[in-house]
Protein backbone atom coordinates (compact mmCIF):
# COMPACT_ATOMS: atom_id res chain seq x y z
CA UNK A 1 0.00 0.00 0.00
CA UNK A 2 1.37 3.39 -0.92
CA UNK A 3 1.70 6.24 1.54
CA UNK A 4 -1.01 8.22 -0.27
CA UNK A 5 -3.53 5.39 0.02
CA UNK A 6 -2.64 4.93 3.69
CA UNK A 7 -3.48 8.57 4.41
CA UNK A 8 -6.77 8.22 2.53
CA UNK A 9 -7.74 5.16 4.57
CA UNK A 10 -6.76 6.87 7.82
CA UNK A 11 -8.81 9.94 6.77
CA UNK A 12 -11.87 7.86 5.90
CA UNK A 13 -11.68 5.92 9.18
CA UNK A 14 -11.24 9.15 11.17
CA UNK A 15 -14.17 10.89 9.45
CA UNK A 16 -16.38 7.81 9.95
CA UNK A 17 -15.53 7.65 13.66
CA UNK A 18 -16.13 11.37 14.11
CA UNK A 19 -19.50 11.07 12.34
CA UNK A 20 -20.51 8.23 14.66
CA UNK A 21 -19.35 10.19 17.71
CA UNK A 22 -21.31 13.28 16.64
CA UNK A 23 -24.44 11.19 16.06
CA UNK A 24 -24.04 9.59 19.49
CA UNK A 25 -23.69 13.03 21.08
CA UNK A 26 -26.84 14.28 19.35
CA UNK A 27 -28.79 11.25 20.55
CA UNK A 28 -27.41 11.76 24.07
CA UNK A 29 -28.48 15.42 24.05
CA UNK A 30 -32.04 14.47 23.10
CA UNK A 31 -32.14 11.74 25.76
CA UNK A 32 -30.89 14.14 28.43
CA UNK A 33 -33.40 16.77 27.32
CA UNK A 34 -36.24 14.24 27.61
CA UNK A 35 -35.15 13.30 31.14
CA UNK A 36 -34.91 16.95 32.18
CA UNK A 37 -38.39 17.61 30.80
CA UNK A 38 -39.74 14.61 32.74
CA UNK A 39 -38.16 15.88 35.96
CA UNK A 40 -39.57 19.36 35.30
CA UNK A 41 -43.03 17.91 34.74
CA UNK A 42 -42.87 15.98 38.04
CA UNK A 43 -41.78 19.09 39.92
CA UNK A 44 -44.66 21.10 38.42
CA UNK A 45 -47.14 18.37 39.40
CA UNK A 46 -45.87 18.34 42.99
CA UNK A 47 -45.99 22.14 43.12
CA UNK A 48 -49.57 22.14 41.83
CA UNK A 49 -50.50 19.56 44.47
CA UNK A 50 -48.98 21.73 47.19
CA UNK A 51 -50.86 24.77 45.88
CA UNK A 52 -54.13 22.81 45.98
CA UNK A 53 -53.46 21.77 49.58
CA UNK A 54 -52.67 25.39 50.49
CA UNK A 55 -55.92 26.54 48.89
CA UNK A 56 -57.83 23.90 50.86
CA UNK A 57 -56.20 25.12 54.06
CA UNK A 58 -57.10 28.69 53.19
CA UNK A 59 -60.71 27.64 52.58
CA UNK A 60 -60.81 25.86 55.93
CA UNK A 61 -59.44 28.93 57.71
CA UNK A 62 -62.09 31.15 56.11
CA UNK A 63 -64.83 28.69 57.07
CA UNK A 64 -63.54 28.57 60.64
CA UNK A 65 -63.48 32.39 60.81
CA UNK A 66 -67.02 32.59 59.46
CA UNK A 67 -68.17 29.98 61.98
CA UNK A 68 -66.46 31.85 64.82
CA UNK A 69 -67.93 35.17 63.69
CA UNK A 70 -71.45 33.72 63.52
CA UNK A 71 -71.22 32.28 67.02
CA UNK A 72 -69.79 35.48 68.58
CA UNK A 73 -72.97 37.39 67.90
- Cα separation, 22 vs 30, whole angstroms: 13
pLDDT above 90 (res 43): yes
Other Cβ atoms less than 10 A from the Cβ of 6: the count is: 10
User: What mean pLDDT is predicted for residues 1-20?
Assistant: 95
Element at 32 (helix H, strand E): helix 3-72
Please give the C-alpha separations between residue 33 and each of 7, 21, 41, 42, in angstroms, as whole numbers.
39, 18, 12, 14
What pLDDT was estimated at residue 10? 97
User: What mean pLDDT is predicted for residues 24-51?
Assistant: 97
* Higher-confidence position of 68 and 24: 24
pLDDT band of residue 72 (cuts 50, 70, 90) is confident
What pLDDT was estimated at residue 1? 78
Amino acid sequence: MELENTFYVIGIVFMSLMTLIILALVVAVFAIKAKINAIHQRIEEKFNTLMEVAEMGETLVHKAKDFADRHKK
